[in-house]
Structure 1
């Protein structure tokens, strides 16, 4: 499976293994992106809300200037944060991201969550949110795509969208997302979503593909299952003389799902990227299919506020 890439209609290609940058700390994300590009990563996944795009942009610029890589060899993804969903806020948010990343265009720009916030507000109380009836996500999606003619973005997509919400976009707008970035891994296989997206020609990218064990403590639950310690995955890793992380990445890629594992350690970056050379047997793929727990590590509970607009059922349509 070496060199797997998603071929887009316009000839662009999305590398199936990228570098995630959520939780990459200031002072270390520069070196992480720099080393990732040096060892062969060509997809860097970013977001304005991560607060580290300026450092990422410097690493990208330094590697381009050093001749390590050219801009057209890279696929850079970023995301529109939820406080910039109003029509007048979308382009300024995009320009800010391009400035921080020192880029003239993005390869992919995603709507981060289908949940609008008031401009400049956090997500502490219900008062920080915009009534979704007043700022529906299909309107934001339309306004994002209307920037296409300006050449600032090559592809538009969404993140954290369910089948129901994707259908709303497809039925009410003329624009199909190129990508839906969601949490996907052996403990959260989301077969219905995978089948729908693949049938509709919407590529899936898996975030937190390894279980996000380094996410902030408030997002963790006591006694939660540790994906990388699963015995089935461990057995397959032993059979293939590979790591558990490599098995998971190869399993996702075998289904046509790209991944963006985050690592700031050079050895793990190399190891994750080497997953592209790993081939799982049909029997091994089927074994992993049996360990689905429908278990989210990113539950979305941070969106639930007293007297707020959302429940978890609203967010995940479950």
Structure 2
């Protein structure tokens, strides 16, 4: 059971650990300790992004582990992302190099386009604004050429977006799946926490999960999901909790200007 869920396998044979540490909103001063705790717990997948502003501290922790010989570079699957202001083919190499430098790595295992809405590249700011505080949106991003440049640079031919399904920040609606009676009941029957049940549910659907925490005990808890299995009945009950668009909608506190972009993905209303 556990071995079947340790990885997802790409078409080219490369394997991605199915549980990773998410680092969105993990602040500098804490994110390095979080990565350290995750690697101690057995995580071998770290997810970050240029826009998070924490790649350098993550890189310092990774270097410590690699220099000590406790882990080799190839033991850890590292994901980072092209920032909003880099959404054009000619900027891919520039920002990939910046991320590699910050992470102190020669390569990343997966490089994602962070968001389909591009920003203008002004002084390297991820969120450039005009004198009135409005975001400077790039309305002319050529996504086809952008995908081609990301995919050929490191011989990656397919990219897999990861959903931060347990995150509530910027949600239009406040969701509390961990307090849902169905989830709580299943968790009690398995002797697990609601969070562990939600993670396991996604894992059994072959979806990579990247729960975020900076607390060592929570990081360990989020990794203790390999020693139980949800029944088909459990899976069916959890599947019926799918809220469709209502459960996937995000607001845009970054700036309402993004709503005008033709590739803005969250325009559906309910």
TM-score (norm 1): 0.75
Give, in whole Å, the separation in 1 of the partners of 2:259 and 2:174. Answer: 27
RMSD: 2.3
Q: Is the 8 A contact 1:19 1:36 kept in 2?
A: yes
Once the 2 structures are TM-superposed, how far is the Cα of residue 75 of structure 1 from its aligned partner? 0.3
Closer, same or farther: CA 285–72 of 1 in aligned 2, 3 Å: same
Name the counterpart of 1:66: 68
Give, in whole Å, the separation in 2 of the partners of 1:296 and 1:303. Answer: 20
Give, in whole Å, the separation in 2 of the partners of 1:123 and 1:261. Answer: 29
Give, in whole Å, the separation in 2 of the partners of 1:111 and 1:224. Answer: 26
Establish whether residue 148 from structure 1 lines up as the match of residue 154 from structure 2: yes
Name the counterpart of 1:130: 138
Q: Is the 8 A contact 2:201 2:230 kept in 1?
A: yes
Closer, same or farther: CA 57–127 of 1 in aligned 2, 3 Å: closer
Closer, same or farther: CA 181–225 of 1 in aligned 2, 3 Å: closer
Establish whether residue 179 from structure 1 lines up as the match of residue 163 from structure 2: no
Runs of 4+ in 1 over 6 A off after TM superposition: none
Name the counterpart of 1:78: 80
Name the counterpart of 1:299: 250
Q: How does 1:159-170 map to 2 (within 5 A)?
A: none
Partner of 1:68, secondary structure, is coil
Give, in whole Å, the separation in 2 of the partners of 1:300 and 1:314. Answer: 11
Give, in whole Å, the separation in 1 of the partners of 2:215 and 2:254. Answer: 31
Q: Is the 8 A contact 1:300 1:315 kept in 2?
A: no
Q: How does 1:34-113 map to 2 (within 5 A)?
A: 34-113=36-115
Name the counterpart of 1:238: 188
Closer, same or farther: CA 284–139 of 1 in aligned 2, 3 Å: same
Give, in whole Å, the separation in 2 of the partners of 1:41 and 1:83. Answer: 30
Q: Aligned pair count?
A: 259
Give, in whole Å, the separation in 1 of the partners of 2:87 and 2:257. Answer: 23
Once the 2 structures are TM-superposed, how far is the Cα of residue 181 of structure 1 from its aligned partner? 2.0
Closer, same or farther: CA 283–65 of 1 in aligned 2, 3 Å: same
Gaps of 5+ in 1: 150-154, 156-174, 183-206
Gaps of 5+ in 2: none
Instruction: Note the alpha carbon deviations across 1:84-143, whole angstroms, 9 max, x for none.
Output: 122322111000100000100000000011111100351656650011xx3221121112
Once the 2 structures are TM-superposed, how far is the Cα of residue 224 of structure 1 from its aligned partner? 2.2
Instruction: Pick 1 or 2: higher relative contact order, CA cutoff 8 A, min separation 6.
Output: 2
Q: Is the 8 A contact 2:116 2:264 kept in 1?
A: no
Name the counterpart of 1:161: none
Give, in whole Å, the separation in 2 of the partners of 1:126 and 1:246. Answer: 40
Q: Is the 8 A contact 1:64 1:71 kept in 2?
A: yes
Give, in whole Å, the separation in 1 of the partners of 2:267 and 2:171. Answer: 22
